[in-house]
């Protein structure tokens, strides 16, 4: 009798603390670091609670950028073209587009580009 390999779900094995992938952890730490700058400035004015809230908001934004994908909504032309892609890839592509002044084309295989 031969041996057979069974497919298994390995999606969650690259996660840290069940919610962080390596990429989302890096984005969260970088965004929280930016929020820490605001925390130190506000703590000089005795507004530490506001600073902590700003750090948490920045960390949440970083986590969302590193984790979530752009939804594909039929109402908006932008989401039709970028639906299903990672948000950080979209931001990087937009940044490259603005700085280089060149056109960037996105091709989808197997779908009709309306």
What tokens appear for 54 in the block?
């700003």
Could you tell me which residue, 32 or 102, shows the higher pLDDT?
Answer: 32
Residue 14 · residue 22 · CB < 8 Å: yes
Comparing 21 with 32, which gets the higher pLDDT? 32
64 and 90 assigned to the same domain: no
Best CA proximity match to 28, nearest among 41, 19, 40: 19
pTM above 0.85, yes or no: no
8 to each of 1, 13, 15, how far by Cα in Å? 22, 11, 16
Same domain for 3 and 36? yes
> Are 14 and 49 in the same domain?
yes
Q: What's the pLDDT band for 11 if we cut at 50, 70, 90? A: low
Number of domains in the chain: 2
**What's the rounded mean pLDDT across residues 26-54?**
95
* Residue 5 confidence class, pLDDT cut points 50, 70, 90: confident
Full residue range of the structural domain in which residue 89 is found: 73-114
Q: What is the mean pLDDT of the chain?
A: 82
> Who wins on pLDDT, 52 or 97?
52
Region 16-23 average pLDDT: 79
So what's the pLDDT on residue 70?
Answer: 83
């Amino acid at each position: 009798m031969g041996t057979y390999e069974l497919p298994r779900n390995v999606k969650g094995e690259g996660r840290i603390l069940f919610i962080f992938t390596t990429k989302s952890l890096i984005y969260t730490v970088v965004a929280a670091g930016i929020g820490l700058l605001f925390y130190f400035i506000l703590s000089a004015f005795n507004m530490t609670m506001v600073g902590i809230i700003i750090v948490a908001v920045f960390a949440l934004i970083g986590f969302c950028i590193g984790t979530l994908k752009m939804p594909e909504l039929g109402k908006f032309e932008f989401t039709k073209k970028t639906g299903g892609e990672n948000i950080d890839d979209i931001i990087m592509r937009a940044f490259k587009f603005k700085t280089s002044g060149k056109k960037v084309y996105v091709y989808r295989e197997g779908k009709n580009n309306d």
